[in-house]
Structure 1
Amino acid sequence: MKSLAEWNTTSAPRGAPVSVLDRIVAILDAVKTAGGTSTITEIATATALPKSTVSRLVADLTQQRYLVRTDEGVSLGLRLFELGARASLPRRLLAAAGPVIRNLCEVTGERVGLWVPQGSDMVSIAAVAGRLPMLPTRAGMRSPALTTASGKAFLAFCADSALVSRISAPLADDAADHFRDELAHVRASVVAQDIEESYPGILAVASPVLSPDRVVLGAISIAGPSGSMDPERVTPLVRAAGTTVTRRLVAA
């Protein structure tokens, strides 16, 4: 026997998604399956959701640019395509950088890595081992953007000043001034260095990788023993590697 509360609660149609996330995914899938545009009524029919629920969620998704309203109804918004482009970025970067990474490792014998930003860190999406067995070469390794060569190479060309300020916020006044000067030098030379700042006994040099529209995507770096790796020798090689990856992305 149902309680009064249960009698007064409208049950969701059989087969309708229950959680908010499930409902959002169902709406996006319905619009995608339609192949162009869908009306609120068509989405409600496809998802088994009440029209009022569909109308409310579609309004929220439109405000966030996941959907867009047209004269014919609702279609997928630009934000979904932006997210899709970002999801394919590591694959495109790896395809463009793979031969460059291998060549740089063969020429120098040092550890070479490809890094992309994630929050206040740089994350490795590819690495080839060199003379540094103490450093892991697995993809997914994280290093602080504030101190690493790859992080400085990225931040120097990052157009998001708020991100740069947030990452450098822990620095004291003098250190912050020095950091800004260092980034200005990186922009001028298109190469960054980390001399035992992140890891004792290790020197790293990095250069930014840019997209076809000149947006910085990450950095390619080389790391070796600070006592034996010559920064004067590897700097032009790393700079050329970053430029080559950028050119390969443009040509892809």
Structure 2
Amino acid sequence: MASIDGHTNTDPLARPATVLHRFIAILDAVKGAEGARSIAELVAITGMPKSTVFRLVSELVEQRYLARADGGVTLGLRLFELGARAVLPRRILSVAAPTVRGLSERTGERVGLWVQQGLDMVSIAAVQGRLPMLSAHAGMRSPALTTASGKAFLAFCADQSVVDRVSASLVDEDAERFRDELVDVRTSVLATDLGLSYRGVVAVASPIIAPDRTVLGAISVAGPRDSMRVDNIAPLVRAASLSLSRQLAATA
């Protein structure tokens, strides 16, 4: 069997065994090309039957992980979108630590840095504050529909399909109230959660905006409902989000 860029799989035992492994083998083979990969090249590299390669490539193209090109297929836009999302938390974290610490010291409350994922907001950094019941570890998930960070993100999200998916459970008056709330958030650039997501906890958040006006995430402060004054905290949160947005613009 001919070698393609030094990659030839002639050993049946070395061929990808599961469907997932087969998909990954094809993506890896395409990734290693300077241009497009043909079906024949993918067969040679992966050692899989031509019919299998053709079927898997068709499915990957349909899902935008691969794209048709002259001479074969190239990596698709969906992979680049996923890659950008994977880099985003690291990019924010690289400039956010001093701002998060400063906001925590000024408020004494829990400060969180969030990015959107599916129906949730995912914490990429947090300082505990006075809420020991809420995790300060990266990876905590909270519903985007009700949290301050979620509403801060959704109000500035240019992809309406994301907003629609998150708010799909709302109907009639609830849906209208949610739309009105997002309008208010866009006006004030601040969102609040007055105990809807977590009992006894209030929060205020503001979006982190890229120079091209893309919303990257949100920064929030949360504290006990009976003692945290949202009106006093809100300007500090807004100032922190502005600072982060400017720092990210300077490092872009």
Contact kept in structure 1, 2:39 and 2:72, CA below 8 Å: yes
Alpha-carbon distance in 2 for matches of 1:74, 1:196: 50
Partner of 1:131: 130
Partner of 1:157: 156
Alpha-carbon distance in 2 for matches of 1:227, 1:20: 53
Partner of 2:199: 200
Amino acid at match of 1:140: G
Q: How does 1:17-28 map to 2 (within 5 A)?
A: 17-28=16-27
Q: How does 1:99-248 map to 2 (within 5 A)?
A: 99-171=98-170, 173-248=172-247
Q: Which structure would you say has the larger Rg? A: 1
3-state SS, counterpart of residue 34 of structure 1: coil
Q: Normalized against structure 1, the TM-score is what?
A: 0.84
Q: Normalized against structure 2, the TM-score is what?
A: 0.84
Alpha-carbon distance in 1 for matches of 2:207, 2:83: 23
Task: Give % identity.
Answer: 63
Alpha-carbon distance in 1 for matches of 2:155, 2:72: 44
Contact kept in structure 1, 2:109 and 2:223, CA below 8 Å: yes
Partner of 2:5: none
Partner of 2:8: none
Query: How far is 1:169 from its partner?
Result: 4.0
Aligned CA distance change for structure 1 residues 75 and 200 (closer, same or farther; 3 Å): closer
Alpha-carbon distance in 1 for matches of 2:198, 2:74: 50
Aligned CA distance change for structure 1 residues 43 and 245 (closer, same or farther; 3 Å): same
Q: What do the CA deviations read for 1:174-207 (whole angstroms, capped 9, x no partner)?
A: 3333222221111100001112222333221100
Amino acid at match of 2:101: R
Alpha-carbon distance in 1 for matches of 2:30, 2:177: 51
Amino acid at match of 2:74: S
Alpha-carbon distance in 1 for matches of 2:112, 2:218: 8
3-state SS, counterpart of residue 61 of structure 2: helix
Alpha-carbon distance in 2 for matches of 1:198, 1:20: 39
Aligned CA distance change for structure 1 residues 67 and 135 (closer, same or farther; 3 Å): closer
Aligned CA distance change for structure 1 residues 77 and 134 (closer, same or farther; 3 Å): closer
| Superposition CA RMSD, Å | 2.3
Partner of 1:47: 46
Alpha-carbon distance in 2 for matches of 1:17, 1:63: 21
Q: Where does structure 1 lack aligned partners over 5 or more consecutive residues?
A: 1-11
3-state SS, counterpart of residue 32 of structure 2: helix
Alpha-carbon distance in 2 for matches of 1:217, 1:132: 25
Aligned CA distance change for structure 1 residues 41 and 241 (closer, same or farther; 3 Å): same
Amino acid at match of 2:175: A
Q: Where does structure 2 lack aligned partners over 5 or more consecutive residues?
A: 1-10
3-state SS, counterpart of residue 101 of structure 1: helix
Contact kept in structure 1, 2:115 and 2:123, CA below 8 Å: yes
Alpha-carbon distance in 2 for matches of 1:232, 1:74: 55
For the pair 1:249 / 2:251, whether they are aligned, the reply is no
Query: How far is 1:102 from its partner?
Result: 1.0
Alpha-carbon distance in 2 for matches of 1:177, 1:52: 50
Q: What do the CA deviations read for 1:193-229 (whole angstroms, capped 9, x no partner)?
A: 1122223332211001123322222211001223332
Q: What do the CA deviations read for 1:215-250 (whole angstroms, capped 9, x no partner)?
A: 222211001223332222211110111122222222
Amino acid at match of 2:44: T
Amino acid at match of 1:37: A
Aligned CA distance change for structure 1 residues 53 and 171 (closer, same or farther; 3 Å): closer
